[in-house]
Amino acid sequence: MSEDETGAEPGTASHDPARPERLLESMTTGWAERTEELPAPAAGAPYRAERRRRLAARFPGEWLVVPTGGYKVRANDTEYRFRPGTEFAHLVGSHQPDAVLVVDPQGDAVLYQAPTMDRSTPAFFTDRMYGELWVGPRPSLASTSALLGVETRPLDDLEALKGTAARVVRGYDARVEELFPSDEEADRELVTWLSELRLVKDAHEVAQLQEAVDSTVTGFEDVVRQLDAAKATSERWIEGVFGLRARVEGNDVGYGSICAAGSHACTLHWTDNDGPVRDGELVLLDMGVEGHELYTADVTRTLPVSGTFSDRQRQVYDLVFAAQEAALAACRPGAGFLDPHRAAMRVLAHGLVELGVLADADDAEASLAEDDQRYRRWTLHGVSHMLGIDVHDCAHARDEAYRHGTLEPGHVLTVEPGLYFQPDDLTVPEDLRGIGVRIEDDVVVTEDGCRNLSAALPRDSAGVEAWMASLRER
């Protein structure tokens, strides 16, 4: 859409029309005063305040700067939907672009954010990216402060801090980075600490994750009901149906949905989703709703399109299920983060013997050895990652706190073993080629084990068949 259909100025990139003085005068006057009722504090506000308090306590006497980032160009003058930065979202909760959290040396936090637009100047109707007439009104600083429980100041006031030595979360906002002379090592330390701050989820975060998972379960049900439409079209139908649920109940999908029918399941991140969906084949669906506070689910089910597994498909599926059971049993406080992975790999390696891929139990054991690892040709990836605001959450945590760390109550992680037999893998029996199976659930570590947040979706082969049948009957 262009601003107007008439009078375009030739040679302007956007073909915007000229704006005579009389028009400017008219557009900038005659608007009713806005009244606003301040919102009640958000349920997550006290939790985020506590995180900011811990941040200030970790770096006492320092300036700390956490930007959220801004719009990213998709093409020409269109942008991707804005998604707040993860560290910022965890600490503040505002969804406004370009906002910046600053913690001062006394430990006080201020949110710098663009204020409501002044309609006495033309930008509100001339600026396509930010103009309130184009994109809708922004929340006022007062209402943001009331909602999020943090002091707010106009974004332009950030300039006053130019030249202040600060630790900055980099990679989100070049304009903010230019304001603060900061050293890379100190900045990295901040990002690492913020990643590790997210390892243990508080009660509010677990509730947010459960909501995202619940919507994801509904999305999977939507998809099963619509499998006939997918058969008549393509994997894209599934992506669209799930995306509808994600947008209606949450913010978006937490990552590009993987809707992989037939041998596409062997491509780990198959997101083209443009292939056929056929009876007799499996369809691997790795999809997650991202909720309103950006916590995302990450769930995979591998379904027989017809509703019933063939014998060979079931054999592979049941093996992956057994591996997942072993991994889930290993998810408890005090266990190593890699223990569920190791438990699942042992089951898979020995199961590969029964499938006719590895020779015998000795061969399976040999393949599990550190200096061998042939089984990985078919297992391809790790069994777990942390889950939260990022699908691969806490990515900057140190190895000793994450990969080589110990599971604790409040850790939320995926448990997702898989087996993948590429269609042209000459080392496996022919009837396995093109079969890919992954089962992925999201669990929270509890005081004495773990709780499966996605337990509402059946995992075992008989349960999956019964669930599909009941959905298709209704």
Binder of Mn ion out of 298, 390, 441, 442 (CB under 5 A): 298
DSSP reduced 3-state for 282: strand
Which residues, 199 to 238, sit near ligand GLY by CB under 6 A?
none
Residue whose CB is less far from ligand GLY, 281 or 390: 390
Residue whose CB is less far from ligand GLY, 393 or 465: 393
**With CB cut-offs between 5 and 8 Å by kind, which of ligand GLY, Mn ion, none does residue 290 bind?**
none
Cα angle at 318 between 315 and 320, to 5 degrees? 110
Q: Is 286 in the site for Mn ion (CB under 5 A)?
A: yes
Tell me the window of 95-103, 117-125, 280-288, 342-350 that interacts with Mn ion (CB under 5 A): 280-288
Is the sign of the CA dihedral 269, 272, 277, 280 positive or negative? negative
Residue whose CB is less far from Mn ion, 113 or 296: 296
Shortest spacing between CB 303 and ligand GLY, in angstroms? 16
Residue whose CB is less far from Mn ion, 298 or 339: 298
Residues with Cβ < 8 Å from 468, sequence gap 6 or more? 224, 303, 304, 307
Shortest spacing between CB 296 and Mn ion, in angstroms? 10
Q: What is the spatial distance between Cα 101 and Cα 110, in angstroms, rounded to a whole number?
A: 6
Q: What is the spatial distance between Cα 187 and Cα 184, in angstroms, rounded to a whole number?
A: 5
Shortest spacing between CB 257 and ligand GLY, in angstroms? 9
Q: What is the DSSP string of 362-398?
A: HHHHHHHSTTT-TTHHHH-S-S--B-SSSSSTTTTS-
Q: What is the spatial distance between Cα 439 and Cα 167, in angstroms, rounded to a whole number?
A: 41
**How many CB atoms are closer than 10 A to CB 278?**
14
Q: What is the spatial distance between Cα 457 and Cα 216, in angstroms, rounded to a whole number?
A: 10
Instruction: Mark residues 402-441: x for contact with ligand GLY by CB under 6 A, - for none.
Output: --------------x-----------------------x-
Q: What is the spatial distance between Cα 66 and Cα 180, in angstroms, rounded to a whole number?
A: 12
Binder of ligand GLY out of 173, 187, 286, 441 (CB under 6 A): 286
Residue whose CB is less far from ligand GLY, 320 or 391: 391
By the 8 A CB rule, do 110 and 133 touch?
no
Shortest spacing between CB 290 and ligand GLY, in angstroms? 12
**With CB cut-offs between 5 and 8 Å by kind, which of Mn ion, ligand GLY, none does residue 255 bind?**
ligand GLY
Instruction: Mark residues 407-446: x for contact with Mn ion by CB under 5 A, - for none.
Output: -------x-------------------------x------
Residue whose CB is less far from ligand GLY, 389 or 391: 391
Residue whose CB is less far from Mn ion, 187 or 440: 440
Task: Please give the C-alpha separations between residue 223 and each of 110, 161, 429, 462, 464, in angstroms, as whole numbers.
Answer: 44, 51, 32, 19, 14
Instruction: Mark residues 366-405: x for contact with ligand GLY by CB under 6 A, - for none.
Output: -------------------x-----x--------------
Residue whose CB is less far from ligand GLY, 221 or 440: 440
Binder of ligand GLY out of 173, 298, 441, 442 (CB under 6 A): 298
Shortest spacing between CB 106 and Mn ion, in angstroms? 41
Is the sign of the CA dihedral 305, 306, 307, 312 positive or negative? negative
Strand partners, 65: 102, 168
Shortest spacing between CB 253 and Mn ion, in angstroms? 11
How crowded is the C-beta side of 158, counted as CA atoms within 13 Å?
29
Number of residues that bind ligand GLY (CB under 6 A): 7
In this structure, the strands spanning 73-75 and 78-79 are antiparallel
Q: What is the spatial distance between Cα 215 and Cα 304, in angstroms, rounded to a whole number?
A: 22
Shortest spacing between CB 288 and ligand GLY, in angstroms? 7
Q: Where are the alpha helices (DSSP H) in 198-306?
A: 203-225, 227-232, 235-249
Residue whose CB is less far from ligand GLY, 95 or 438: 438
Instruction: Mark residues 254-273: x for contact with ligand GLY by CB under 6 A, - for none.
Output: -x------------------
Residue whose CB is less far from ligand GLY, 98 or 440: 440
Rg (CA), the chain: 26
Strand partners, 289: 253
In this structure, the strands spanning 64-67 and 167-168 are parallel
Shortest spacing between CB 255 and ligand GLY, in angstroms? 5
Residue whose CB is less far from ligand GLY, 55 or 238: 238
Residue nearest to ligand GLY (CB): 286
**How many CB atoms are closer than 10 A to CB 442?**
25
Shortest spacing between CB 291 and Mn ion, in angstroms? 16
Residue carrying the six token digits 């811990």 = 54
Q: Is 63 in the site for ligand GLY (CB under 6 A)?
A: no
- Give which of 321, 291, 274 is closest to 418, Cα–Cα: 321
Q: What stretches of 72-150 adopt beta strand conformation (E)?
A: 73-75, 78-79, 100-103, 109-113
Positions that interact with Mn ion (CB under 5 A): 286, 298, 414, 440
Which residues make up the interface to ligand GLY (CB under 6 A)? Answer: 255, 286, 298, 385, 391, 416, 440
